[in-house]
Amino acid sequence: MLQLVTFDLDNTLWETESVVASAERTLMAWFAEHAPLFVERLDSEARKALRHEVLASDPALRHRVTDFRLAVMKLGLLRAGYAEEQASELTRRGFEVFLEGRHAVTFFPHAERLLQGLSENYQLASISNGNADVRKLGLDKYFSVIVSADEVGLSKPDPAPFLTALQRAGVEPQRALHIGDHPEDDIQGARGVGMHALWFNRHGAEWPLSLQPDGEVRCLGDIPDWIERFKANR
């Protein structure tokens, strides 16, 4: 019996890369106005180098996108010449600007109807490596469990985010289905803890791994029928 359906967020319920790129452009425009030294003294190469430097000094940050982004921003502001306190304040405000843009997402077709329909029959959980917050998007009414790598400290495909969702939902892995776009992070990760896994293959790519998902769909609207077939065949 299927009791829990867990969802990846980025590139599963909405397209992410263009949204993050746009949020970063908005942030740079904000910096140009509020922290001009940051823009004048650090070119894009220097800003990229900050990311490597921060990761080298604290590799665990690769699992926590929010803390990572905050650390990169603060280091950049310090390097640009802002004093500690000012750098902290600009980091805090700048991150708010970024987050606002980060949530300007457009749901994929059928996303909200899918969540609403499934939430009538199953517990739903979100399991994300990113820093989109379903509460900010008005989707928290569908999810009884919300898990982020930021909060767990380990990102998919590590078992920890999956196990956290299962534990919070009080559901055994064999009664849970994870849906996501990423072969390793989502499908391999979920299968690794004994969950079922459905690949959201929006672009119709070839499956790249030896371990197979339980199935794949190219459109979110196909998921309810897929779940019914999956249950009937087991």
Q: By the criterion CB under 5 A, which residues form the site for Mg ion?
A: 8, 10-12, 181-182
- Tell me if 45 sits within 8 A of 166, measured CB to CB: no
Q: What are the two backbone dihedrals, phi and then psi, of residue 142, each rounded to the nearest 5 degrees?
A: -95, -25
Q: Smallest gap, in angstroms, from Cβ of residue 15 to Mg ion? A: 10
Q: Smallest gap, in angstroms, from Cβ of residue 94 to Mg ion? A: 25
Q: Smallest gap, in angstroms, from Cβ of residue 200 to Mg ion? A: 8
Q: Smallest gap, in angstroms, from Cβ of residue 13 to Mg ion? A: 9
Q: Which is nearer to Mg ion, 91 or 129 (CB)?
A: 129
Q: Which is nearer to Mg ion, 3 or 11 (CB)?
A: 11
Q: Which is nearer to Mg ion, 47 or 182 (CB)?
A: 182
Q: Which is nearer to Mg ion, 8 or 150 (CB)?
A: 8
Angle at 173 between CA 167 and CA 179, to 5 degrees: 100
| DSSP-assigned letters across all residues of 139-206 | -TTT-SEEEEHHHHS--TTSHHHHHHHHHHHT--GGGEEEEES-IIIIIIHHHHTT-EEEEE-TT-PP
Q: Which is nearer to Mg ion, 12 or 155 (CB)?
A: 12
Residue tagged 């065949």 (tokens):
233
The amino acid present at 111, given as its one-letter code, is: A
**CB closest to Mg ion, residue no:** 11
Q: Smallest gap, in angstroms, from Cβ of residue 180 to Mg ion? A: 5
3 state DSSP class of 122: coil
Q: What are the two backbone dihedrals, phi and then psi, of residue 147, each rounded to the nearest 5 degrees?
A: -125, 130
